[in-house]
Structure 1
């Protein structure tokens, strides 16, 4: 049994569980479930079922619905945020994007697709972190990037 499947790891996580960890809410919560989580590997996997009713398809693009690449990146960042929130000492601290590097879009994402959102943390400090992120559909890479975040000092966001 892997760590991800043990009760202590608390996987899978539902959208409700995710909302207890990060501040994102509908319509901007872009992770439906966390399905794998292995802190020893610094690794997490989420899922996003892309439906024809998504709010962004009305304008992107009429008659040819394609999930915007920037929202694929956001879904990966939210998955990374769940990983960080589960680490000791991070809990309710909010991370903000610090950078998106090496970003590539390799496949369109359309209604009916399920995005697999995989993040491997490369660095995690008290105020900064970086993770290698890959969004894929049926094993085919849709988007990949190196994402970084910063956690502002207490009270800086008020």
Structure 2
């Protein structure tokens, strides 16, 4: 299953400039996997200050984009087992482990996020994500997310 930006907006509460997933290429709820994409463009606001003469996407935004891809997977997996989402609740980041930023991400790159849900138990999700540019790993991390009332 693929998702376009409008379908992503129905799942994630994030909006410009903080919505960092442009497209979902594939979701497999049975396997607990998602492949998503972010097109990094020169007109991204953060490049104005990071860094004007040599633009590099901030690592924290790469990590946030990875977390958003994982959040989409969590929501789709809940829907696949017929669990109803509560509009008062959100998947929120509860922990990040083993973060590695291996290469700079620059304008023109296309980030591909490959996330796997490792464990779901009592509203807590543990996942691992790798991020690729042109088939090379540029970042990786493990996430813990909680489905909590806000």
Common topology (TM > 0.5): yes
Pairing of 1:1-158 with structure 2 (within 5 A): 11-86=1-76, 87-88=78-79, 89=83, 91=85, 92=87, 93-152=89-148, 154=149, 157=150
Stretches of structure 2 lacking an aligned partner (at least 5 in a row): none
CA distance in 1, matches of 2:84, 2:135: 32
Q: Which moved more, 1:135-144 or 1:88-97?
A: 88-97
State the 4+ residue runs in structure 1 displaced beyond 3 angstroms.
Answer: 90-93
**TM-score normalised according to structure 2 size:** 0.91
Stretches of structure 1 lacking an aligned partner (at least 5 in a row): 1-10
Query: How many Å apart are 1:125 and its aligned residue?
Result: 2.4
1:3 is matched with: none
Is the partner of 1:47 in helix, strand or coil?
strand
CA distance in 1, matches of 2:84, 2:103: 34
- State the Cα RMSD in Å: 1.2
CA distance in 2, matches of 1:105, 1:21: 27
Q: Number of aligned residue pairs: give it.
A: 144
Is the partner of 2:117 in helix, strand or coil?
strand
Query: How many Å apart are 1:90 and its aligned residue?
Result: 5.5
